[in-house]
Structure 1
C-alpha cells in the first residue's frame, strides 16, 4: 500500500509535467495558437516560452526512478548489464515506433491541407532508420515528431547509469566503500554536466548534457533515504546554485527545485517508513480527489501521451485551419480539443501497446514497419508527382 501511494504522488507530478509539454507544443507550433493568441496573448506566450522546461521534471524523475530500480543502496541490484539495457530499449522502442508510424502517415495526410512550418516534410530512408534506432540527432537527421529527442536522451542516460553501476561491481571493495564511490562518481558527473557540458548547446544530443538533472534525481533518491538527508539536501542545493552562479539557466533552476522537492516529499515522516508525500497525497484525496486521480492517471500513461500527442495536435490544427481559419474563440477551443484527444489517443496507445510486455521480435517488427510506412509515403509521393 505504501508503495502504491508513493508511486501515485510521483504519477501526479508526471501528469502535471505531461500537461505542460502538450500545451507547450500546442502554443509553440500553431497555427491554432497564432489565431487564439489574440484572446490570451500572455498565456500563449508563456506556454510557448516556459512550459517546455517541464522536461527537466521528467529528467529528474527519471534519475530518481533509475536509482530506485537499479541501485537503491548505490549498489547494482542486477547481474546482467546488457540484459537491463536491452529490456529498456525494447520497452521504449515499441510504443515509440508505433507512434512514429502514426506521425509519418498523418503528416502525409496533413501536408496537402496545411502549409505551415510545423508540418514535417516527406521522410527519407536514412531519416527513418536513424529515428527507428534513436540516433537521429547524433547522425544529423531530422526527427519525425516533436519530442523524439527526449526518448533518445532518456535511453542514453539509462545506459550511462547501468554501465556505471555495473562497472562498480568489478571493484573488490566492501559494499559500503563501493556505494560511496558510486555516489561520488555520480556527484562528479553532475558537476561536470552542470558546470561545463550543459553550457555547450552543441552537446545537446548527448546524455552528458542532461546528466546534471538526471543525476540530481539520483542524489534525491539516495538522500531521501539517508540518515544524513540534510547533508544531501545541502549538497543538491550547492551543486545547483554553483551552476546557476556560473551561468543562470532557468531549466537548471527548475531541475534543482524538483530534486529538492523530491528530497522533502520522499523522506520518511514516520518510523514505519511513511513518507511526507504519502501523507500529503492522502490529504489531497479528500477535497481534491477528482483532480489528483486524473493527474495520477495521466502520469501513468504519460509516455504514450508524450509520443502520440504531436500527431493528434497536427491533425486538429489542419482541420481547424481548413474550416475555421480566423476565429480566435474556435481556434482556442480547437487547442482544448487537441489536448483532450491527445490524452485519449495516448491512453489507447498505452492500453494496446505500452502496457504489454514487449520482445525483441516485436520491436524489430515495429521498427521495420516504421521504415516501410515511410517508404510507402515516399513511393506514393513520387507516383502522385
Structure 2
C-alpha cells in the first residue's frame, strides 16, 4: 500500500505543477482528500469520482477481480461448485453486464474474460483430472452459449475472449524452443 500511496501523491504533485503551465482539460481539476482516500481503497470508480490516473482505474479493477476470485477459491475448495459459479459469472458478464457501460467500474463487467482465463488454467494445468474435465466442459458449454447468443446479436469480443481462453488452454504452458532467447548484438 505504501508504494501505491506514494505513487498517488507523486501523481497529484505532478498534476498540481502541470496546472501552472497547462490550462487544459486533460490535467483535470485539483484532487480532493476524498478522492485520494477513495483511490487508496480502490473505490473511486464505484463512487463515481474522477481517476487520479488511468493506471489507478486499472489497478482498482484488477483488485476487485482478484479479491472476488480469492474469496471464491476460499469459499469453494472442492472446485466443482467453483467452476460452475465462475461459468455463471462468465456468461452473465459476457451476455449482460459487459454490454452496459454503467458497470465499467465493477468486477462483473470484466469477469467474463478473466473467468475464461481461470477456466482455461484449471482445464489445462490443474492436477485433479475431474477438475480438468469439468473445466473443459464449462469452457465448451460457454462457447455454445456464446454461439447461441450470437443468433440474436453478434459480439465479436465475446468470441475473441473465448478464442483467447482456448489458446491459453491449448498453448498456455508451451515452452519456448532452445535458442529462441534474444541474442545480444
TM-score class, shorter: 0.7 to 0.9
Contact 1:157–1:211 (8 Å) recurs in 2: yes
Contact 1:237–1:260 (8 Å) recurs in 2: no
Q: Let me know the Cα RMSD of the aligned residues.
A: 2.6
Contact 1:186–1:215 (8 Å) recurs in 2: yes
Q: 1:97 and 2:8 equivalent? A: no
* TM-score (normalizing by structure 1): 0.42
The structure whose RCO (Cα within 8 Å, separation 6+) is larger is: 1
Q: 1:119 and 2:27 equivalent? A: yes
Helix, strand or coil at the partner of 1:254: helix
Contact 1:197–1:203 (8 Å) recurs in 2: yes
Rg larger for: 1
Q: Give the Cα separation in 1 of the matches to 2:99 and 2:179.
A: 39
Deviations, residues 179-236 of structure 1 (Å, cap 9, x unaligned)? 2222111111111111111122111111111111111011110111356586565345
Provide the aligned length of Structure 1 versus Structure 2: 178
Corresponding position of 1:183: 83
Cα drift, residue 113 of structure 1 = 1.6
Q: 1:265 and 2:165 equivalent? A: no
Corresponding position of 1:76: none
Q: 1:212 and 2:112 equivalent? A: yes
Cα drift, residue 245 of structure 1 = 5.0
CA spacing shift, 1:150–1:97, aligned 2, 3 Å: same
Corresponding position of 2:161: 255
Counterpart pick for 1:282 among 177, 180, 184: 177
Contact 2:8–2:36 (8 Å) recurs in 1: no
CA spacing shift, 1:232–1:168, aligned 2, 3 Å: closer
Corresponding position of 1:142: 50
Q: Give the Cα separation in 1 of the matches to 2:139 and 2:9.
A: 44
Q: 1:152 and 2:52 equivalent? A: no
CA spacing shift, 1:144–1:290, aligned 2, 3 Å: farther
Instruction: Write 1 or 2 for the structure with the bigger share of helix.
Output: 1
Helix, strand or coil at the partner of 1:184: helix
Cα drift, residue 100 of structure 1 = 1.6
Helix, strand or coil at the partner of 1:136: coil
Contact 1:219–1:236 (8 Å) recurs in 2: no
* TM-score (normalizing by structure 2): 0.81
Q: Give the Cα separation in 2 of the matches to 1:206 and 1:145.
A: 17
Q: Name stretches of at least 5 consecutive residues in structure 1 with no aligned partner.
A: 1-92, 170-177, 267-274, 292-385
